[in-house]
Chains A and B, each alone.
Chain A
Amino acid sequence: MPSPPHAPFRYLQALWFQLTGTLCNLECRHCFIACSPTNHRLAFLAPETVYHYLDEAVQLGVREVYFTGGEPFLHKQILPILAQALRVAPTTVLTNGTLITPSVADALAALHAESRYSFEIRVSLEDVDTARNDAVRGPGTLAKALHALQLLQERGVLPIVAVTEYLYDGNGSPGQPGTGSGFYQKFRDFLLAHGIRKPRLKVIPVFAMGKLEGTVPLASYVTPEMLHGFDVDTLQCTKARVVAAGGVYACPLLVGEAKARLSADSLHQALRPCSLYHTACHTCYVTGMTCANY
């Protein structure tokens, strides 16, 4: 196989924190890093580590900050960490929503109201049908996630709903507005029907890794020739970096991967070209996927 090409680094649009490593209270069937209640492969980040990198990111003119896991709300310091991030930059937290109780929603709404920067809460769903959703994400997860969305909306926060294409059935994706059909429209209609007045949706492709390693016939790689005439700036690794246990990585999908680690302890040093060596790179290449909100 030829050497993989590299993606240049443009600027630091997004800094990600893999806050709770691979620990999650759920064990979704398609998780791209196989998170679970017993997966301790990647450790939690200490608040001091987050603050250190936030300081460095501010010096570098970062545009936005994301927190993911695992499930970020398993971190006991999640609220002060979010508050600190919001002091310096627009911030998003990705969650399965199952740990957002009324008191947590109160705290999140207070952060949202106090911050002059955008504070986005992105809640994952899999399907609008309870049986189909819960078969992927676990018993009771659709009801809990929907409850979280409603708690947030009641408090003036407009969450984003993230959906993977894992259960995409080929019906009109992403769907034309107003037709009442299609994958995208199905979620939009569901959220409207459940009182979410301004549904915000993000559809994410499936990656053949983690729990799906070897199960999806997408094991293709990016070659140098494929970059000829291609707008490489569409790759999120040209504008994002991820802090996780062990250092700074090229993208949120490849945390913990030795070939994606760009620095052990310096964000500045990690702002350099990265290798497009993984099958996930091919998925981003084909789909134009970004883990960011937009």
Chain B
Amino acid sequence: MSYQCIAVFGGVYNNHLALAAAIDDAQHQGAEALFCLGDLGGFGPHPDRVYPLLHQHGVQVMQGNYDISLAQGLEDCGCGYTDPRDNYFAEISYQYTFQHTSEEHKRWLATLPDFFRVQLGPYRLYMCHGSPRRVNEFLWESTTPDCLLETFCRDYAADVILCTHTGIKWHRQLSHDRHVINVGVLGRPENSGETHVWYTLLTATPRLQVTFIPVHYDYQALAQEMRHEGLPEEFVETILSGWWTTCLEILPGKERARGQW
């Protein structure tokens, strides 16, 4: 299947309100297909509200580490955190999501692929969750050198690689019109002090154009739902302020310096 314009969503983290807004926006932008790079659960409220939206609008979804853990009933989210503070809050998210995701949805997660290959105009796209080689590898902008990305493009026969997992978007242009794009996430704002989230629109007419689209949604309603569900106030604060308060020890120095905490 070949496309001219697609929308790619990163981690949803139970943020069904942002997902609905992103789907609506992408359809208005003329996206021919919608893709989601996994991690449907975590952080936000009401996990089961995400799935009907994905099904109703034909979003093509792959497994992230969270989805693998939920499908297999693993003990933790497999996010790849190494710091005790990060793991403490990750466990709260995961336990909540695991308990509130229906068995039917867990079974569906088990059926999902772990990568997509798509043709966009003349470009061969390879989509993955963390990195092509590991589902929970964090590809931060400051810790991902060109030499590694060139190797990925060569080894995975791709002109464009798309990933998520970190929560912060970026785009790197490589030699020979090859690109690597972290598409950001819908689940929580990207630690910039702004409350909106992001998805990525790609067009090829025929030259590749990458546009990061801000998604404004009713974040106050989401915060209210989170409080009602008894989720940690630290999570709510992130939604309301746009600054990360948890799961930020994994940030490299440059990315950490940009945040408030």
Contacts and interface: CB of A to CB of B under 8 A. Distances in A.
Interface of A: 11, 57-64, 88-90, 112, 116-120, 156-160, 174-177, 184, 198, 200-201, 290, 293-294
B85 A63 contact: no
Interface in B129-187: 133, 138, 140, 142-148, 150-152
Q: Pick the most buried of A61, A116, A290, A293: most chain B CB atoms within 10 A of its CB.
A: A61
Contacts of B144: 63, 90
Contact of A89 (B85, B140, B147, B261): B147
A239 B218 CA distance: 43
B84 interface: yes
Contacts of B250: 294
Interface residues of B, number: 27
B209 interface: no
11 contacts: A60-B151, A61-B147, A61-B150, A62-B148, A88-B147, A90-B144, A90-B145, A118-B140, A120-B252, A159-B253, A200-B256
A198 B89 CA distance: 18
Contact of A158 (B146, B152, B256): B256
B253 A89 contact: no
Contacts of A174: 84
B53 to A, nearest CB: 33
A84 to B, nearest CB: 13
A89 B142 CA distance: 9
A172 to B, nearest CB: 10
A120 to B, nearest CB: 5
Contacts of A290: 82
A89 B145 CA distance: 5
Contacts of A116: 142
B257 interface: yes
B229 interface: no
A239 B148 CA distance: 14
Contacts of B142: 90, 116-118
A119 B148 contact: no
B231 to A, nearest CB: 16
A160 B143 CA distance: 15
B49 interface: no
Contacts of B249: 200-201
B145 A62 contact: yes
A293 B253 CA distance: 11
A273 to B, nearest CB: 18
A177 B85 contact: yes
Contacts of B237: none
B108 interface: no
Given A90-B252, A177-B84, A118 B261 contact: no
Contacts of A59: 147
Contacts of A120: 252-253
B145 A201 contact: no
